[in-house]
Structure 1
């Protein structure tokens, strides 16, 4: 178990991927301080190496320092983009396993969620500081606070015509579809058997979605799930000759042969409403004709 945060705890903000400046996360810093937390900024905040928050060595050093510092009770990734997989194999998780802490983020940070899951520890898939100033994010921010401070998380969402009803229980895993696809066969690859898998993505071509879903199915990651949660598939692209299906229709096609509960339109992903999900924690998915309910056991 990872202890819930308490007022007075120190948290770190850093970037393992794209560059970002302190003014861009000022709203998040203020929010964390309003929660009674002490914010420590990593060396990657304000650092720049092409599109990255510093070169690989700096981003690795920053993450390693915060993982090893026992006074830091949570690490919040400032933004996604690309870059986490460039350093993840060099990270030493020895101290982290002895004294685990919350790690927060989504999108490219899916790589860290998956790596941490292979260690048998939970992490928090949630809104990141770069987005705190955006309109419509207040509920997302509040769910992150509740997750960090150990408060109850029970989510309900509207039914969708593609939903497959039923109830399933298992560890909740997942994140960005493109990242999960990229991690296949690496040390960060996760087993999905008997688990509730959630997926979201952004700015992908529809045929890419199809290709990745085919790969997940061929690699056995869709066959023995306890449940499947499909979040936002935002800003999808198509070719001049249309693929002919939406992202949800593609996913429906590749999961239709299975019997576990599936829900679509769950508010997780690259939209203002991005509910905090605790990866690696036992959860229960209930999909009825009336609604979707996701809770923790």
Structure 2
């Protein structure tokens, strides 16, 4: 087996260019001037797609109108100077683009897409195309903040290093716990992301292909009854039954924690469940390569890429 055979995500060299897009909500304008320096400090160049300068659309929760955001997404993938595509922030808006995305273009120019939150829609689409992505923090979300310095170092180090078969993610200094041990380590494709966004894909052409997967879920500012409703929808759609195991990230920002709801759905499911994984709308937000085969080992509290 050659080193190329071991490669799951190609390493990006020093000076590689990250194409910056805002496919969902508007980025914080004050953050844009700081992004090139952040990337340069970690060995990358920034290339802003032109639509970012357009400003918010008539619907001010969108970074720009649908046509502009779509054009930027296509341009970033087609641009030969761009080595990977970094989303600026989540919010809402990616779902409005899904049925208009030129999937043939994405297949012709496969690049790593980086983001989380509302970007989970695009992560789901890329999974349908057989392309990996990176569930990871974004510059206009909180990556520029001092408390996210470790997240930034880890993310950009991963991009420079790439991902190979046998690589392990076992967050140092944090202790995810076994909500259910199941029957030992299980293997499957890692899919998922934000619970609300992931669930909204049900009933669409990009509904999750969940048979035998390892399902990662996180969310923010959702009270327990809404987490319950979303998980009930996944259960009724057969997604929870189809999955081989679960990784539960942060469920943060709500006045009341969702721990009891998560325990109700996953505590007696008979499958491996690792809860408290430090990824999501929180610090730390550990980067997770998605759409790839992993082994979930609850006893060792880790994910291994196969």
TM-score, scaled to structure 1: 0.90
Q: Return the structure number with greater helix share.
A: 2
Deviations 1:198-236 (A, max 9, x none): 100011122111111111111111113221001100112
- Which residue in 2 is equivalent to 1:92? 102
In the TM superposition, residue 128 of structure 1 has moved relative to its aligned partner by 0.2
The answer (yes or no) to whether the contact 2:178–2:298 under 8 Å persists in 1 is: no
The answer (yes or no) to whether the contact 1:124–1:147 under 8 Å persists in 2 is: no
- Which residue in 2 is equivalent to 1:241? none
The answer (yes or no) to whether the contact 2:168–2:302 under 8 Å persists in 1 is: no
Range 262-271 or range 182-191, more displaced? 182-191
Equivalents in 2 of 1:2, 1:100: separation in Å?
11
Match of 2:298 among 282, 287, 292: 287
Equivalent positions of 1:234-253 (< 5 A) are 234-237=252-255, 246-253=257-264
Match of 1:220 among 232, 238, 241: 238
Helix, strand or coil for the counterpart of 2:282? coil
TM-score, scaled to structure 2: 0.88
In the TM superposition, residue 34 of structure 1 has moved relative to its aligned partner by 2.4
Helix, strand or coil for the counterpart of 1:144? helix
Q: May I ask how many residue pairs the two structures share in their alignment? A: 288
- Which residue in 2 is equivalent to 1:196? 214
Equivalent positions of 1:7-86 (< 5 A) are 7-21=14-28, 23-46=30-53, 47-49=55-57, 50-86=60-96
1:296 aligns with 2:293: no
The answer (yes or no) to whether the contact 2:186–2:244 under 8 Å persists in 1 is: yes
In the TM superposition, residue 100 of structure 1 has moved relative to its aligned partner by 0.5
Helix, strand or coil for the counterpart of 2:147? coil
Equivalents in 2 of 1:174, 1:26: separation in Å?
32
Equivalents in 2 of 1:52, 1:15: separation in Å?
9
Equivalents in 1 of 2:239, 2:136: separation in Å?
23
Superposed CA RMSD:
1.9
Structure 2 unaligned residues grouped into runs of 5+: 1-7
In the TM superposition, residue 42 of structure 1 has moved relative to its aligned partner by 1.4
Deviations 1:8-42 (A, max 9, x none): 32211110111125531444422322233221101
Helix, strand or coil for the counterpart of 1:45? helix
- Which residue in 2 is equivalent to 1:117? 127
The answer (yes or no) to whether the contact 1:139–1:275 under 8 Å persists in 2 is: no
